[in-house]
A and B are shown apart, each in its own frame.
Chain A
Amino acid sequence: MAGSSVSVDYAEAMITTPIAAGDWLIVAPSLITMVGGALCLMLRKNTDLQPKLGVFLLGLLVLASLGLLIRVLDQGVITMVMGNWLPPFGIAVTADPLGATLTFIGSVVAFCAGVFAMQTVSSSGRRYGFYPFLLLLMTGVCGSFLTADVFNLYVWFEVLLISSYGLLILGNERIQLDGAVKYGVLNLVGTNLFLIATGLLYGIFGTLNMADIAVKVDALDNPASGALATVAALYFLAFAMKAAAFPVNFWLPASYHTPNIVVSAVFAGLLTKVGVYALIRIFVLILPASLEYMADVIGIVAIATLITGALGALAQSEIRRLLGYLVIAGIGSMLAGLAIASSGTQATLAISGAIFYAVHSIIVMTALYMAAGIMGMMGSSFNLRELGGLYHKSVAFAGVFLVLAFAVSGLPPFSGFWPKVMLVDAAFQGGRFWLGAAILVSGFLTTLAMGRVWIYAFWRGGPEGTADGQSVDVTGAAEGQLSSGALWLPLGVLTALVIYFGLQPEWMIELATQGASSVVDPFGYIRSVLGEQG
């Protein structure tokens, strides 16, 4: 090359300081799951090895994301840039407290699901690639939480979407194909809307780096004008679709009850929350001015999501479908946090409430789907009319279910209570009484729906028609599986987390507050990505 004749000053274009060894943790979650997924894919015919390898890799992922979280809390926001090119030219991967917290909680849930799947996914499910899909899904989830580039976020969304298609149709039953058609088409339309907004954003600013865009938006005279309003509306529509907000959420109740129960558990825990995370990232970090004037729209959508989700749950007798509607109701609470955050003074409290709620929802929805799976095995049905007598079957399991029911309804002393307190507090302080009221009413309706499941499936002596005071001996078809520790261990771990966050919320509130301030006041984030020039 003729390059030798030119003296190149690399410091002009590249980061020349070596990367601290600990900072490599930031790519570890994506790397472990991607390489691990490929490895699992190659070994997919070895059905005995699959679960062990998959669970081992997911365990590594938990450790890596825990290490990353500790490092972020210790050192502040950390950034790594692909190819060491100076930002905004290299694609930046950035871990701030928000992204790192969600990555860690997401990894824990995926690990629990991996263990649960050792029992519930048959060997043909393994041969068709359950573990590779689960690992690659986590690649997309972790990548979304940790990227600092809008186009890169789109790519990670697609990675998690294609893996979720694979998981959704694993088993190839009629009902799954029906659910997958609706899930597939509507989610693809959602990502296309996201891509349109990203294309327009690139057209306006000529950059895709989130920190760079945030600086440029801030420098505009009228940061809520014309073209940016279009971009903001498109982003809201796209991510509302991903997050399953009313009225673009009909794909969720159509599909979440169709696949294997562990797949439902992972989806309910993680997928919609990635959409919520993207909404927080885009609106609070990049487009705060747009958030201000869209707050009323977001608030109305939040109220409608809260109420329709809870009413939908009340109208279902199939417990998996009922839980699908509860996922939607939870999304409403997080959107309410976003709407409240527009007023400025309550922003940190509202966003930290939304983050805590997301963490709570990830854990409790996964645990509830696992519990529903166990209920199905005990009673050979998912229908409230056919279930009954489960309290006599296992008192301990009935207790676990009651804890989860309390948590998802937002009753103390479990994890759902504190984020709701924060959100309602922020709503009343910010003068958005309707949002606070909607959160409380939705919690009340959820209590009714969960109470009904408890009364019919657990307290009633047997299936419909059993006389009062009588108890029928229920024997499930899958009775033999129930002794397996692979079912009880993950459910126990998640329930323990629910109780722990309920009794000791300070740690999580502190974490959520740090996460919220890193997006509400993005100085640290921008400086980490762009260096001193920002």
Chain B
Amino acid sequence: METGVAILIGLFFTVAVYLMLSKHLVRILLGIAILGNSVNMLIFTNGRLTREIPPLIPSHLYTPETATANPLPQALVLTAIVISFSFFAFLLVLAFRAYQELGTDEVNKMRVAEPENDPTPPQGY
């Protein structure tokens, strides 16, 4: 089970890296969205995929009777989903604003902060 999911996660990472190597901001952002999801799947798989019963404790006990599913990765993934989702939303708006202001979504042409033919500093002392 873990092996199959691990291969799937590897595919996700491949796609994410491929998209992030693009010059166009929109593709880079899609790559980041996929990267975030592959990380979530990776954390989930690292908590071990088991077909155990849900982690509920009977009311007359204070530890579970048998092995249960691992609840911690779900909490971790939930946190990571919320964070990566909000960052993705922010970056989408940022990319749109940058496109409006700079007139391009190609990162090589975004040279306002670092102009291309920047004058050298004065030479000599």
Selected contact of B60 from candidates A2, A177, A314, A385, CB within 8 Å: A2
CB of B23 to closest CB in A, whole Å? 13
A177 touches B39 (CB 8 A): no
CA distance A8 to B61 in the complex (A): 9
CA A9 – CA B25 in complex, angstroms? Answer: 57
B95 at the interface (CB under 8 A from A): yes
Q: Is the CB of A178 within 8 A of B42?
A: no
Asked if residues A202 and B46 are in contact (CB atoms below 8 Å), the reply is: yes
B46 adjacent to A188 (CB under 8 Å): no
Question: Could you tell me if A177 and B91 are in contact, using CB atoms closer than 8 angstroms?
Answer: no
Interface contact A5-B83, CB-CB below 8 Å: no
For the complex, give the distance between the alpha carbons of A315 and B123 in Å: 10
Q: Check: B69 CB closer than 8 A to any chain A CB.
A: no
Instruction: Assess whether A169 is interfacial by the CB under 8 Å rule.
Output: yes
Contact with B along A367-388 (1 / 0, CB 8 A): 0000000000000000111000
Smallest CB separation, A184 vs chain B (Å): 6
In the complex, chain A residues whose CB is within 8 Å of the CB of B76: 151, 199, 202
B112 at the interface (CB under 8 A from A): yes
Interface footprint category on A: 35 or more
Of the listed stretches A291-299, A449-457, A481-489, name the one at the interface; the rest are far from the partner chain: A449-457
Query: Which chain A residue has the least Cβ–Cβ distance from B112?
Result: A178
A181 touches B43 (CB 8 A): no
Cβ of B46 and Cβ of A255 under 8 Å apart?
Answer: no
Assess whether B120 is interfacial by the CB under 8 Å rule. Answer: yes
Name the distance in Å between B4's Cβ and chain A's nearest Cβ.
Answer: 16
Enumerate chain A residues within 8 angstroms of B125, measured Cβ to Cβ. Answer: 451-452, 455
Contact A165 B90, beta carbon cutoff 8 Å: yes
Which one of A58-66, A70-78, A189-197, A422-430 is at the interface? A189-197
Closest residue of chain B to A258 (Cβ to Cβ) is: B113
- The answer to whether B62 touches A158, judged by C-beta atoms less than 8 angstroms apart, is no
In the complex formed, the residue of A with least CB distance to B42 is: A199
Q: Are B91 and A202 in contact (CB under 8 A)?
A: no
The A-contacting residues of B in range 50-106, CB under 8 angstroms, are 59-62, 73, 76, 79-80, 83-84, 86-87, 90-91, 94-95, 97-98, 101-102
Total B residues in contact with A, Cβ cutoff 8 Å: 46
Give Cα distance in the complex from A169 to B98, angstroms.
Answer: 11
Any B CB within 8 A of the CB of A254 = yes
- Whether A254 and B42, one on each chain, are in contact in the complex, defined by CB atoms closer than 8 angstroms, is no
Q: Is A492 an interface residue (CB 8 A)?
A: no
Give complex CA distance A120, B19 in Å. Answer: 40
Chain B residues with Cβ under 8 A from A177's Cβ?
94, 97-98, 101-102
CB <8 Å contact, B91 and A316: no
CB A56 to nearest CB in B, in angstroms, measures 29
Instruction: Decide: B122 and A200 in contact? CB cutoff 8 A.
Output: no
Whether, in the assembled complex, B107 has its beta carbon less than 8 Å from a beta carbon of chain A, the answer is yes
Residues from 438 to 467 in A contacting B, C-beta threshold 8 Å:
451-452, 455-456, 464
The listed residue (B59, B80, B119) touching A1 by CB distance below 8 A is: B59
B43 touches A202 (CB 8 A): yes
Complex interface: chain B residues within 8 A of A421 (CB): none
Contact between A195 and B32, CB atoms less than 8 A apart: no
Q: Which residues of B contact A464 (CB under 8 A)?
A: 122
Q: Which residues of A contact B32 (CB under 8 A)?
A: 185, 188-189, 192
- B39, B73, B113: the one contacting A257 at CB < 8 Å is B113
Partner of A196, one of B39, B61, B118: B39
- Whether the Cβ atoms of B113 and A384 lie closer than 8 Å is no
Most central of A151, A179, A188, A451 by chain B CB within 10 Å = A188
Contacts of A179 in B (CB 8 A): 113
A sample of 26 cross-chain residue pairs with beta-carbon separation below 8 angstroms, ordered by A number, consists of A1-B59, A158-B87, A161-B87, A162-B87, A178-B110, A179-B113, A181-B107, A181-B110, A188-B32, A188-B87, A192-B84, A195-B43, A200-B42, A200-B46, A202-B46, A203-B46, A203-B47, A254-B114, A315-B120, A315-B121, A317-B119, A317-B120, A317-B122, A383-B119, A385-B121, A455-B125
New A-B contacts (15) at CB < 8 Å, excluding given A181-B25, A315-B121, A385-B119: A1-B59, A151-B79, A175-B113, A177-B98, A177-B101, A178-B110, A178-B112, A181-B110, A184-B91, A188-B32, A192-B32, A200-B46, A203-B48, A254-B114, A318-B118
State the B residues within 8 Å of A (CB): 20, 25, 28-29, 32, 35-36, 39, 42-43, 45-48, 59-62, 73, 76, 79-80, 83-84, 86-87, 90-91, 94-95, 97-98, 101-102, 107, 110-114, 118-122, 125
| Nearest 9 A/B pairs, CB to CB | A203-B46, A317-B121, A199-B43, A2-B59, A178-B112, A178-B113, A179-B113, A177-B98, A174-B101
